[in-house]
Structure 1
Amino acid sequence: MELRQLEYLLAVVEERSFTRAAERLHVAQPGVSSQIRRMERELGQQLLDRSGPEVRPTQAGTTFLPYARAALDAVSGGRLALDELAGLVRGSLSVGIVTSCSSVPVTDLLADFHRSYPEVEIRLVEAPSDQLAAGLRAGDLDVALIGVATKAPEGLHHRLVVDEPAVAGMAPEDSLAGRGAVSLAELCERPLLCLPRGTGLRTMLEEACESAGIPLRVTMEAGDPQRLVELAERGLGVAVLPAPSVRRHGSRIRGVEISAPGLRARIALAWSAERAMSPAGQAFIDLAGAVLAPS
């Protein structure tokens, strides 16, 4: 049995198609089919059900898949260990950033990493925090900057890099603009402008409202904090934003503290707690730890 046969099998199962698996692997489709049939003959079991419109694992295939993944992970881990021993940092790095990540100098961080490790190919993905966390757990991402709420991300290691108060941002002429603070109940009486579901601050707001038994009514949402500032400035609602996003716009918008409870905008650098980290990923974590500090 060869490692490529295991790779072919996993690709077919994940893509549910020999053709799509071959395209993903950049090999000819007949080669994928013949290698898997060869492995099935060697094992004496049919691993794939080819009778339907989509290819699916048989009972034997389902039983065998965890061992195939473990074998490939073990080989990958061995290669990583040897690379680390040799002091090599190469290969690829998949980095995720939360859609509303305006408080972290991501571009500068990636540029610094590229200058230090020019042979590493960097892939950047922007998405809500819950999708990024799922990508880290699945192994699709190496590291990600995600928003975190009150609970630590399940199955992930994380290092907090931003911890800022959230404020209610509103037009200067709003009746609440002169207040020192606004309660959560008062805030939720207004049309709210928020970051999308799955972002850390939105999750924290939802959890606070649920805990207090206060209905949350979001009338508009946007992934770009700048867009929320513009909407609030024009009197379309009250925006829930990190304090720096409001402060940097000066007199255009007023920021009022949200009390009882105080909300925080937190961003963390996260990576899987279950998978071995590549040398490139570890180098990025080390660089980020040196450059970024909680604000």
Structure 2
Amino acid sequence: MELQQLRYVVAVAETSNFTRAAERCHVVQSALSHQIKRLEHELGTPLFARTSRQVRLTPAGEAFLPAARQALEAAERAVADAAATVGEVRGRLSVGVIPTVAAVDVLAALRELRNRYPQVRVSLRTGPSDKLTSDVAGGRLDVAFLGLPSTARPTGVRCHELARDRLVAVLAPDHPLAGGHDLDLAGLANEPFVDFPYGSAGRTQTDQAFARAGLSRDVAFEVTDAHLMAQVIRHGLAIGFLPSTYLRRAPELAGLAVVTVADAPSRVEYVIWSKPGPTPATRAFLTAIGLSEIRATRMP
């Protein structure tokens, strides 16, 4: 069994097509097909069910694929670790960010990383904090940036606290409360709200603040990102809460009214990475955001 055969199996599984898999692997289709048939002969069972219209994994292929991916990842990590001993950083870096990340300029850090280590290949994805944490813990992401309520901490990963911030109320510019001062949650409780989905970290921090104040509110609109939230607010449909530091980096919020609230929700931003320890590319990226010495807490 050869690593190249594993790469071919993964490519066919992900494209469901031998031709596209061969193009991805930069080989002719006949060579790819021949190597997969050799592997199937060695295993004594077919990995793919082939018809004129589709290619799909057999039960044996379904069982084989996860370990094949792990073997390829381990081989890539071994090469990266060896190269790092002579100061060369290579390999892949997968980064997850919440849409409202504000404590770190992630793109500036990636630019610094690429300028210094151009052989690093980067994938960047957005998502809610709970999903990003799960993906880092499960090895699907190398590093992620989270925003959590002050009552929560990341679990199952290593983490470093980046910043703490209070949220501010964001309103349409012609809203009656747009010029308000000394507002509190009680003064906003009767307004319709736009917020992130129920149960998400971005939503929980505000829900908890209203609960502590003994108040309820009407979340009339749920959105998945801050850009959509800004559009709902701009049309006068609802008001919302967003981190104050995020507003400085959010052109979509330009022209909206921002009001400080005395008992506003708060959040903590973290950077997290997996328990086994960072890859050379992850370590280089953490250095680019200012963590030159990684002494972060390992959470349970």
TM-score range, shorter chain: 0.7 to 0.9
CA distance in 2, matches of 1:47, 1:218: 49
What corresponds to 2:219 in structure 1?
217
Which secondary structure state, in structure 2, belongs to the residue aligned with residue 101 of structure 1? coil
Q: Provide the aligned C-alpha RMSD in A.
A: 4.0
Summarize the alignment of residues 250-289 of structure 1 with structure 2, pairs less than 5 Å apart: 252-258=257-263, 263-273=265-275, 277-289=278-290
Q: What aligned pairs does 1:24-173 form with structure 2 within 5 A after superposition?
A: 24-51=24-51, 53-115=53-115, 117-121=116-120, 123=122, 125-130=124-129, 132-133=132-133, 136=136, 141-149=141-149, 150-153=151-154, 155-170=156-171, 173=176
How far has the Cα of 1:134 moved from its partner?
A: 5.8
CA distance in 2, matches of 1:213, 1:254: 19
Name the CA distance, whole Å, in 2 between partners of 1:11 and 1:251. Answer: 47
Does the CA contact (< 8 Å) of 2:147 and 2:202 recur in 1? yes
Contact kept in structure 2, 1:195 and 1:221, CA below 8 Å: yes
Structure 2 unaligned spans of 5+: 293-300
More displaced, 17-26 or 30-39?
Answer: 17-26
Which of 161, 173, 177 matches 2:180? Answer: 177
| Aligned mates of 2:21, 2:198 — CA distance in 1 | 33
Q: Is the 8 A contact 1:193 1:237 kept in 2?
A: yes
* Residue 41 of structure 1, CA deviation: 1.0
Contact 1:163 1:265 in 2 (8 A): yes
Following superposition, the deviation at residue 155 of structure 1 comes to 4.4
**CA offsets, 1:234-261, max 9 Å, x none?**
85432211134569989943221346xx
TM-score, L = length of structure 1: 0.74
Could you tell me how far 1:199 is from its partner in structure 2?
6.6
Matching residue's letter, 1:129: P
Match of 2:291 in 1: 290
Q: 3-state SS of the aligned residue for 2:112? A: helix
Return the alpha-carbon distance in structure 2 between the equivalents of residues 95 and 283 of structure 1.
Answer: 13
Determine the C-alpha separation between the residues in 1 that align with 2:291 and 2:67: 38
Q: 1:243 maps to what in 2?
A: 244
Q: Which runs of 5+ in 1 are unaligned?
A: none
- Taking structure 1 as reference, are residues 232 and 57 closer, same or farther at Cα in structure 2, changes over 3 Å only? closer
Q: Which moved more, 1:263-272 or 1:244-253?
A: 244-253
State whether structure 2 residue 192 is matched by structure 1 residue 191: yes
Instruction: State the partner residue of 2:5.
Output: 5
Say if 2:168 and 2:258, in contact at 8 Å, map to a contact too.
no
- SS of 2:271's partner is strand
Cα deviation for residue 203 of structure 1 reads 4.4
Tell me how far apart the structure 2 counterparts of residues 120 and 198 of structure 1 sit (CA, whole Å).
Answer: 39
Q: Distance in 1 between matches of 2:105 and 2:143?
A: 15
CA distance in 2, matches of 1:57, 1:175: 58
Identity of matched residues, %: 31
**Quick check: 2:194–2:238 contact (8 Å CA) kept in 1?**
yes
1:189 CA displacement = 3.0
User: What amino acid does structure 1 have at the position aligned with 2:185?
Assistant: V
Q: How far does residue 285 in structure 1 lie from its aligned partner after superposition? A: 1.3
* Partners of 1:196 and 1:223 within 8 A in 2: no
The verdict on how the C-alpha distance between 1:136 and 1:46 changes in structure 2, with shifts beyond 3 A counting, is same
Work out whether residues 97 and 146 of structure 2, in 8 Å CA contact, stay in contact via their aligned partners in 1. Answer: yes
CA contact (8 A) 2:48 2:55 kept: yes
User: How many residue pairs were aligned?
Assistant: 283
